Amino acid sequence: MPSTPMTAEPLLSVRGLGVRFRLPQAEVTAVDGVDFDLARGEVLGIVGESGSGKSQILFALMGLLAANGGASGEARFGGRNLVGLAEGELDRVRGSDISIVFQDPMTALNPFMRIGDQLAEGLIVHRGATRRSAWAEAVAMLDRVGIPDPAARARAYPHQFSGGMRQRVMIAMALLMRPAILLADEPTTALDVTIQAQVLDLIAELARDSGTAVILVTHDLGVVARACDRVMVLYGGQVMEAADVDTLFAEPRHPYTQGLLAAMPRLGGETAPRLGTIPGSPGSDAAPGCPFAPRCDRRLPRCTVERPALVDRPPRRIACHLEAADAAS
């Protein structure tokens, strides 16, 4: 159970989070100056197109960056800074207080291990459970995420499961630990639409019941509308705009957010709306200005030379020079 008492103090407080990768010739910045807070029981959505750094934010929090990557900044959780925490210390937090559902369910499970053992492992390692009792809990959780005949399926191996089933196993594995924070990286991408809704509801239910806070990474604004309380829009590794879901959908202020919403077919439509295509692609991080400037149709001269700061404009936070221009006029 989370050690943080229920106060105004956020469960997780992230400041100036950065992720950089060393490449043979150069260094690339995948995440730059990301700030956010996460309260108990809250569901925070992170949206942004492919390559915008969504997954790397989650990996940085878990100490799971690739060997050529490094994180900077601060992520306060339970009195510790998760960034730069030693592996041994991290292992006490990972899988116990914070769990993660990975993006790719096909390769995230160990092919040599029974599903039940993979689920039970966390309980055995962190809670000192016996294999027997852990296995029983694992079967119960498989049942909850909608795996038919869970007692038999727990004895099976990952290759005997479809992609959607594996994703549910991953979700069961994460939920089983009743973590304080659940990091879910596109948890519903591999699922068909009806199951998607079920799984999202399950995650939301868990957040409500056990006070688990969720960071939900997605391409899908429909998922955001359905499951999230707040949402953070990412572009080129930087936060463009962040607000509660209602504000963001009703009154998007950042040109990128506006573009996203405009490209979205229709709220509440039957087909799951995906992030629409906005012309261009995330710019190179060597450029000094706003990462979105090259694709922005309301670009000011300073946008390409000066990076806009992320400022508080209640009820939102936004990083855009237009805000300052509007305020001045």
Partner 1 sequence: MLRFIGRRVWDGGLTLAALVTLTFFVMRLAPGGPFSKSRKISPEILANIQKTYHLDEPVWMQFGRYVKGLVTFDLGPSTRFRDYTVGDMISAGLPWSVTIGIWAIIVATLIGVALGVAGAMRRNSAADYVAGIVGVVGVAVPIFVIGPLLQSVFALRLGWVPVGGIGAGWRALVLPILVLALPNVAYISRLTRSSMIETLRENYVRTARAKGVGAARMVRRHVLKGTLLPVIAYLGPATAAIITGSILIETIFALPGIGRHFVDAALNRDYPLVMGITLLYGALLIVLNIATDLIRAWIDPRLRNGR
Residues that bind partner 1 (CB under 8 A): 62-64, 87-88, 90-96, 99-100, 102, 104, 107-113, 121-122, 125-126, 157, 159, 170, 173
Q: How far is the CB of 117 from ligand ATP (least distance, A)?
A: 28
Using the rule CB under 6 A, is 21 a contact of ligand ATP?
yes
Enter the tokens of residue 153: 């399926």
* Number of residues binding to ligand ATP, judged by CB under 6 A: 16
Enter the tokens of residue 186: 């596109």
In terms of Cα–Cα distance, which of 189, 143, 202 is closest to 163?
A: 189
Q: Give, as ranges, the residues between 93 and 152 that touch ligand ATP (CB under 6 A).
A: 103
Closer of 135 and 292 to ligand ATP (Cβ)? 292
Q: Give, as ranges, the residues between 37 and 66 that touch ligand ATP (CB under 6 A).
A: 48, 50-56, 66
Using the rule CB under 6 A, is 28 a contact of ligand ATP?
yes
Enter the tokens of residue 46: 């992170």
- Give the chain's largest Cα–Cα span: 68
User: What is the three-class DSSP state of 323?
Assistant: helix
In terms of Cα–Cα distance, which of 120, 84, 80 is closest to 97?
A: 80
Q: How far is the CB of 113 from partner 1 (least distance, A)?
A: 7
50 binds, among Mg ion, partner 1, ligand ATP, none (CB under 5 to 8 A by kind): ligand ATP
Instruction: Determine the Cα–Cα distance for residues 17 and 222; give it in Å rounded to an integer.
Output: 27
* Number of residues binding to Mg ion, judged by CB under 5 A: 2
Instruction: Provide DSSP, 195-239.
Output: HHHHHHHHHHHHHHHH--EEEEEES-HHHHHHH-SEEEEEETTEE
Instruction: Determine the Cα–Cα distance for residues 320 and 279; give it in Å rounded to an integer.
Output: 19
Using the rule CB under 6 A, is 30 a contact of ligand ATP?
yes
Distance of CA 223 to the CA centre of its chain: 12
Instruction: Determine the Cα–Cα distance for residues 181 and 55; give it in Å rounded to an integer.
Output: 15
91 binds, among ligand ATP, Mg ion, partner 1, none (CB under 5 to 8 A by kind): partner 1
Cβ(238)–Cβ(291) under 8 Å? yes
48 binds, among partner 1, Mg ion, ligand ATP, none (CB under 5 to 8 A by kind): ligand ATP
Closer of 94 and 219 to ligand ATP (Cβ)? 219
Q: How far is the CB of 277 from partner 1 (least distance, A)?
A: 28
Instruction: Determine the Cα–Cα distance for residues 252 and 317; give it in Å rounded to an integer.
Output: 11
Binding characters for Mg ion, 43-62, by CB under 5 A (x = yes): ------------x-------
Angle, CA of 171, 173 and 179, to the nearest 5°: 90
Phi, psi of 133 (to 5 degrees): -70, -35
Closer of 51 and 164 to ligand ATP (Cβ)? 51
Closer of 24 and 88 to partner 1 (Cβ)? 88
Q: How far is the CB of 311 from partner 1 (least distance, A)?
A: 34
Binding site for ligand ATP (CB under 6 A): 21, 23, 28, 30, 48, 50-56, 66, 68-69, 103
Binding site for Mg ion (CB under 5 A): 55, 103
